[in-house]
Amino acid sequence: MMGPAHSLSGAAAWLGVGAATTAAGYPMPWPVLLVGALICAGAALAPDLDHKSATISGAFGPISRGLCEIVDKLSYGAYKATRKQGDPRRSGGHRTLTHTWVWAVLIGAGASFAAITGGRWAVLGILFVHMVLAIEGLLWRAARGHSADLLVWLLAATSAWILAGILDQPGNGSDWLFTDPGQEYLWLGLPIVLGALVHDIGDALTVSGCPILWPIPIGRRRWYPIGPPKLMRFRAGSWIELKVLMPVFMLAGGVGCAAALNFI
């Protein structure tokens, strides 16, 4: 799928989690619901860091473009090192390592570790990165072009600073779910893991499929492209994605938000 659909699906997924936790008797404070949805929307773009044409590769200028090249080479190296006889030869790393459950868990765990050990600046950094990606994904028409980059970064930095301040207030959710001393913001890794997995599931619906289950071998392949029957798949950017899935994600997100806040 394309960036806007990935971001919308990520936000909708976290709002759905909010609805589920409310139904289970563990409601999210509204700042956690909001921040988690934005982080998940941003994290749903992150697996495409292995593709130089993806939204994330240009989101942070030369830094993200350079990182994209590194991740592409790392992913390609992992593919070559672990492929089985049935896995085809390929020339790049797109839709390999960063499109697996292993990557999602590692990135989420790393973010949680950074949040609880790095203090406020680490939290602000995590929020800033994902705010930039969320803006790029959800407001993609307004955020296109190099002239908009500085405005996007300023908006993301301001939003990160304000939201972190709100979360720090008692009862607003810095210690949501993990309540022991020193575990503030440990939950930040959860929307990051979810966003990456939602991205992978979205890509699995497309023609190429997605090797989500790596390194678990399936038949003669370790990088088996998981997906529905081919007749049910679509091309990224097709009318199904734009006219059907994106409206569904918006509706699901709205319902999830209302349920999470006990409006329905």
| Nearest of 119, 186, 159, 140 to residue 34 by alpha carbon | 159
Average confidence (pLDDT) over 44-72? 90
Whole-number Å distance between alpha carbons of 224 and 13: 25
Q: What is the pLDDT of residue 148?
A: 61
**Per residue in 77-127, pLDDT tens?**
999 999 999 999 988 889 999 999 999 999 999 999 999 999 899 999 999
Tokens coding 229: 């029957």
Whole-number Å distance between alpha carbons of 111 and 108: 5
**Per residue in 6-32, pLDDT tens?**
999 999 999 999 999 999 988 899 999
pLDDT band at 182 (very low <50, low <70, confident <90, very high): confident
SS3 51: coil
pLDDT band at 141 (very low <50, low <70, confident <90, very high): low
Average confidence (pLDDT) over 145-152? 69
- Say what the alpha-carbon torsion angle 2, 215, 220, 230 is, to the nearest 10 degrees: -20
Whole-number Å distance between alpha carbons of 163 and 156: 10
pLDDT band at 51 (very low <50, low <70, confident <90, very high): confident
Residue 218 bridge partners (DSSP): 221
Whole-number Å distance between alpha carbons of 244 and 107: 30
pLDDT band at 211 (very low <50, low <70, confident <90, very high): very high
pLDDT band at 154 (very low <50, low <70, confident <90, very high): very high
Residue 236, C-beta contacts closer than 8 angstroms, at least 6 positions apart? 1, 2, 203, 206, 207
Average confidence (pLDDT) over 160-182? 91
Residue 246 has pLDDT above 70, yes or no: yes
Tokens coding 231: 């007749």
Average confidence (pLDDT) over 180-199? 94
Q: What is the pLDDT of residue 61?
A: 86
Angle in degrees, CA 26, 31, 36, rounded to 5: 80
The DSSP secondary structure of 213-252, one letter per residue, reads TTTS-BTTBSS--B-S-GGG-B-TTSHIIIIIIHHHHHHH
| Nearest of 28, 85, 54, 2 to residue 257 by alpha carbon | 28
Mean pLDDT, all residues of the chain: 91
